[in-house]
Structure 1
């Protein structure tokens, strides 16, 4: 219903949230954040996430962290974001594990701790979180916070790619290209091109431009073209 009639769905969600339906409260925060079917209102989204999180909704708790991390509805504060992520991560939410690991890996809001970051990526990856699979693969490939294990890294990149993460698809394509399996690599590079966001496409196009295979060089141009298209939207 949300896709067919966003405004009507938003009204139904608003009514249910006002009646105390927990899932509706969390969903109301999301549609207020996105402005989907309702006027965008980040401070109000933050308030509804807080209401739902206070009743134990883990994704709402994670979204509180996102709001504090990115400054949605309030001033950005990565240290407060980390507190919210940690609560949801300790309760078992894979997205919160991933988000907390990102802060730990970069030292934003918390002291940098690659061992703890990798452990969180591992937990989330074991739970099926595709983005965490890719980053776990990177740790294993580079031998950071652990002994290098290229075979394990390759397996996690493959699982991330198959799970739909565009960065995992790019990572797996790089492994396949290094093995000489360029045709297979191109399949995954095309998938990453379709799903990638602006920042990813910008960096990826530059990386692919240095390839020696003309087919991959052609894809570098396609990445740059899509990047330009997203910049103009």
Structure 2
């Protein structure tokens, strides 16, 4: 695209200037339309502009990531998982933790050919950059043995690290592991406290679990649960 625009300088300078302006504006405009930032959201226009941006500058990692997501989820274009993998891989291999996690999820997704070992590698790279979704997904893969030998103890540690940063999702998972003694010692009071806090932080699955296990949890000492909740909030803040 840049070469075409420069070639126009010899024959049609006005058209060349317009083409160059489009190339320069394609990425910020495409991002704005995809995300609805300052403009009415328009996935089709946003994806079209992002395609132009990637052709003009293949090294634009955010553009590669966004275009990969567009193909993955059909943002203004038909879903194309091969194209999604291509663009996400370019961004992931350049170190983008969002792309690493998204690519990992794509490689687990039943719609695409499953490659758990590669998915694990990319998800771990994302988690090692402290990307929250990557850390949670890595914990799930370690707990379930997806693409790796099961390691519930490491999964529990990852959930704890992520929960301490405020994730209600991770706190719910940590609470359940502590409740049943997966990956370490069992502590029903602390486990129940963490699941309750996760529900209060908006985690819908935590609320469902509390309803499902209402009877056995009701046998635990209420004052001890409340004390464990208060200690967590004091140490790490309320989850979200």
> TM-score scaled by structure 1?
0.70
Report matched runs for 1:195-210 at 5 Å.
Answer: 201=204, 204-210=206-212
Residue 164 (structure 1) shift: 4.3
User: Do the aligned residues in 1 keep the contact of 2:199 with 2:206 (CA within 8 Å)?
Assistant: no
Moved more, 24-33 or 143-152: 24-33
Structure 2 Cα separation of the partners of residues 157 and 188 of structure 1: 12
Cα distance in 2 between the residues matched to 1:32 and 1:84: 19
- Kept in 2: contact 1:141–1:150 (CA 8 A): yes
Q: Which residue of 2 is the match for residue 220 of structure 1? A: none
Alignment of 1:1-233 (within 5 A): 18=21, 25-54=26-55, 55=57, 56-109=59-112, 111-178=113-180, 179-180=187-188, 181=190, 182-191=192-201, 193=202, 201=204, 204-211=206-213, 212-214=216-218
Off by >4 Å, runs of 4+ in structure 1: 17-21
- Structure 1 unaligned regions, length at least 5: 1-16, 217-233
1:214 to 1:63, Cα distance in 2 relative to 1, 3 A? farther
SS in 1 for 2:146: coil
Structure 2 unaligned spans of 5+: 1-19, 181-186, 221-240
Deviation of residue 100 (structure 1)?
Answer: 0.8
Q: Distance in 1 between matches of 2:28 and 2:219?
A: 44
CA distances 1:127-158 after superposition (whole Å, capped 9, x unpaired)? 11111111111121123332222210111112
1:43 Cα deviation from its structure 2 partner: 1.6
Task: State the Cα deviation string for residues 33-54 of structure 1 (Å, max 9, x = none).
Answer: 2333312221211123223334
Q: 1:28·1:48 contact (CA, 8 Å) conserved in 2?
A: yes
**How far apart in 2 are the matches of 1:26 and 1:162?**
36
Larger radius of gyration: 2
- Cα distance in 2, alignment partners of residues 60 and 35 from structure 1: 15
- Alpha-carbon RMSD: 2.7
Structure 1 distance, partners of 2:51, 2:152, is 42
Structure 2 length normalisation: TM-score? 0.68
Aligned partner of residue 183 in structure 1, secondary structure = helix
Q: In structure 1, what is the Cα distance between the partners aligned to 2:110 and 2:75?
A: 20
Aligned mates of 2:51, 2:219 — CA distance in 1: 49
